[in-house]
Amino acid sequence: MTAQMIISVFTLVIYLIIIFVFNKARSKYAGGKVGTVVNLILVTVCLLFIADYVVILQPFLDKEILDIARALFRTAALSFLAYGGAKVADS
């Protein structure tokens, strides 16, 4: 097993733990600011998860396209978190 594979498996486990915990919290804290923040975190983590694992399409797509897709998903995740956080702070 290569070092890159070990790191990918480790981050997969971390992502799954975060998604599982915040999904349980979403049902417990439905509604209000806390529920909104939990949803923001869930969407952000899912977008970052997609950004990290877009490399599985490497046999089918060019490296530059994969790098662009990774950058777009990371930018989307951070933009979503910033915009949603600003809206929660204003309310």
Does the pLDDT at position 1 exceed 90?
A: no
Which tokens in the block code for residue 51?
């950004």
Which pLDDT score is estimated for 19? Answer: 92
Angle CA(18)–CA(81)–CA(30) in degrees, nearest 5?
Answer: 60
Give the residue from 26, 56, 52 showing the smallest Cα distance to 41: 26
pTM for the structure as a whole: 0.85
Could you report the per-residue pLDDT of 4-27, keeping only the tens digit for each? 889 989 999 999 999 999 999 988
Could you report the per-residue pLDDT of 59-77, keeping only the tens digit for each? 899 999 999 999 999 999 9
Which pLDDT score is estimated for 21? Answer: 93
Give the residue from 2, 9, 3 showing the smallest Cα distance to 52: 9
Could you report the per-residue pLDDT of 35-63, keeping only the tens digit for each? 899 999 999 999 999 999 998 888 899 99
Given a contact cutoff of 8 angstroms between Cβ atoms, the answer to whether 49 and 36 are in contact is: no
> Helix 3-28 and helix 32-52: axis angle, to 10°?
160
